[in-house]
A and B are shown apart, each in its own frame.
Chain A
Amino acid sequence: MSIEITNLSKNFGAFPAVKDISLHIGTGEMVAFLGPSGSGKTTLLRIIAGLEFADHGEIFFDGENVTMKSANERKAGFVFQSYALFNHMTIFENIAFGLRVAPRFKRLSKEKIRERVLSLLETIQLSGLENRFPVQLSGGQRQRIAFARALAVEPSVLLLDEPFGALDAKVRRELRAWLTAFHEKTHLTSLFVTHDQEEAFDVADRVVIIDKGTIQQIGTPEEVRSGSSNNAFVRDFLAMDI
């Protein structure tokens, strides 16, 4: 699915979080929003998901205007930084949630839901954990459950908010490789927010550098890393931890 964003702005009180951002994301792309904390990248992601509403501007999914649609109508798969798993439900119930709340006429049968959940558990290599509760899993395992839960409803776009932010370096690298492999296989349009340059350059097809609510540079990892930008912020930002 392609995403078109035109002149998007959002203020929190007097603070402008997103300032007049326009952006096109092609079908099957993996795009990273890279920037320091407070740059507005997460707000932009949340507006695309429908968890936040813009003051100005429009959003189109595959040419359809979704600006006024709520998050449950847009059904963009969203993975939260803190996983946001349902702690009172088992892993099975977590992954099945999106399938179970579907309107009756669209809902899969119990057997079909079971099949889908178990095959997702296999995909994320956590078969056999379906009866555990989230608190019984490690951080990396929880993150993968969060992926599986988002993927269960077969979203046409995946939005990831600092997906590896809370994990240690080793698990981070493993999951990053897993995500890259998953994207190469499915070509699901994906956007992810990160403040980690290495992560952005390593995983994304295209990197969008954001600061103070505006886009500073867009380009492939090679283009951005080459340092050809004449934008002062981008040069300083890239020089910071290399």
Chain B
Amino acid sequence: MASFIDFRNPPGSDRRADSVIRATSEPLWVRRTLIGIVLAFFILFLVLPLAVVFQGAFAKGWRHFITAFEDRDILHSILMTMMVTLISVPANTLFGVAAAWAITRYSFIGRQALLAMIDLPLWVSPVIGGLIYVLLYGRRGYFGPWLQAHDIRIIFALPGMVMATTFVTFPFVARSLIPLMQAQGYEEEEAALTLGANGFQIFRLITLPKIRWGLFYGVVLCNARAMGEFGAVSVVSAKISGQTNTMPLEIERLYGDLLFADAFAVASALSLLALITLGLKTLAEWKNRRQFEAGQRALLEQSIEAPSS
């Protein structure tokens, strides 16, 4: 999952994409074999499973597919997934922008530690991500007795599921912004400052337009992970269908209950969301590249028109 983000060259960075590797240095059969292996792997591990999901969803026909989504428990799991995502993604967006800003703009004690800690959720298993919240807020956890005395439920309820999801999706926004903001520097922000702009104006008028596609990319990735998270959420959810099951948990339950067509129907809905996410991600990359190329073209035209001054 960590490999989803290209840390050194995120989509928002204006890095030239002209360093195309020349394939002509390899013999033809090497190239063909390599491309063949990659394609076979791609079909076997990505395309085929995705096709099977949709095929399974429609195995009992259109009608059955639609009735699956009339089931109250299934609808509730979609609602739960949306609630968890709607809370954790904005929270991580806010945190990610703040962290990227702090890390790239200020030097403070603990800066390196913060930079390293942001990656923590990528290193540890999502199950541990769920478990730490049980250890903290569970009945026998640190804050358990206090929470119980005040009748607050975190574990086996929505708050815990939001926390676990937020933990797992913590790095995505910050990580897609930090290299970008480092590469851009902050002279434009300084210029705005000397022109009398306040901090909020600088962020809204200068920084945000500069990072918007990188930010969008980070949010889209974060969103995809939040919707699909299984491990961390399964630890802190009571896994009660119709109450605390999100879509991935509901898929597991349906599959366990041998309701294959229903399981695949929900799975296809989740896959569809992933495909939409992929489309948005591609759009963000394309937009960013186009903006960059427009600038390059204009520069070229200018230098042809007026070679000096």
Chain A residues near B (Cβ < 8 Å): 49-51, 70-72, 74-78, 80, 82, 84-88, 97-98, 101-102, 133, 135-138, 140-141, 149-150, 152-153, 168, 170-171, 174
Contact = CB atoms under 8 A, between A and B. Distances in A.
B299 A135 contact: yes
B308 A78 contact: no
A137 B301 CA distance: 10
* The 3 A-B residue pairs with the shortest CB-CB distance in the complex, in nearest-first order: A98-B195, A84-B187, A78-B194
B308 A84 contact: no
B196 A101 contact: yes
B192 A137 contact: no
Contact of B187 (A82, A149, A170): A82
Given A88-B209, A88-B210, A170-B308, A76 B194 contact: yes
B301 to A, nearest CB: 8
A129 B198 CA distance: 28
Given A71-B190, A80-B190, A170-B309, A98 B298 contact: no
21 contacts: A72-B195, A74-B194, A75-B196, A78-B190, A80-B187, A82-B187, A86-B191, A87-B295, A88-B209, A101-B192, A101-B198, A101-B201, A102-B196, A133-B295, A133-B298, A136-B301, A136-B302, A138-B308, A150-B195, A152-B195, A171-B308
A71 B187 contact: no
A49 B206 CA distance: 20
B295 A77 contact: no
B205 interface: yes
A168 B309 CA distance: 9
Contacts of B188: 84-87
Given A78-B191, A80-B187, A85-B188, 13 more contacts: A50-B194, A72-B196, A72-B198, A75-B196, A78-B190, A86-B191, A88-B209, A101-B198, A135-B298, A138-B303, A138-B309, A168-B308, A174-B309
Contacts of B308: 138, 168, 170-171
Nearest to A133: B298
Nearest to A98: B195
Interface of B: 187-188, 190-198, 201, 205-206, 209-210, 295, 298-299, 301-303, 306, 308-309
A82 B196 CA distance: 20
Given A170-B308, A174-B309, A84 B302 contact: no
Contacts of B193: 50-51, 70-72
A104 to B, nearest CB: 12
A110 B183 CA distance: 35
Find the residue from B192, B196, B301, B302 having the highest chain A CB count within 10 A. B196
B309 A141 contact: yes
A69 B187 CA distance: 19
A80 B185 CA distance: 13
B188 to A, nearest CB: 5
A74 B190 CA distance: 13
Given A82-B187, A86-B206, A150 B302 contact: no
A137 to B, nearest CB: 7
A70 B309 CA distance: 36
Given A88-B210, A135-B299, A150 B194 contact: yes
B295 A51 contact: no
Nearest to B292: A135
Contacts of B190: 51, 71, 78, 80, 84
A136 B299 contact: yes
A137 B194 contact: no
Contacts of A74: 194
B189 to A, nearest CB: 9
Contacts of B196: 72, 75, 98, 101-102, 153
A138 B194 contact: no
Contacts of B197: 72, 97-98, 101
A146 B7 CA distance: 33
A138 B306 contact: yes
Contacts of A76: 194
A152 B197 CA distance: 14
Contact of B194 (A72, A82, A86, A170): A72
Contacts of B299: 135-136
B194 A77 contact: yes
B58 to A, nearest CB: 46
Contacts of A102: 196
B194 A51 contact: yes
B123 to A, nearest CB: 31
Find the residue from A49, A135, A141, A170 having the highest chain B CB count within 10 A. A135
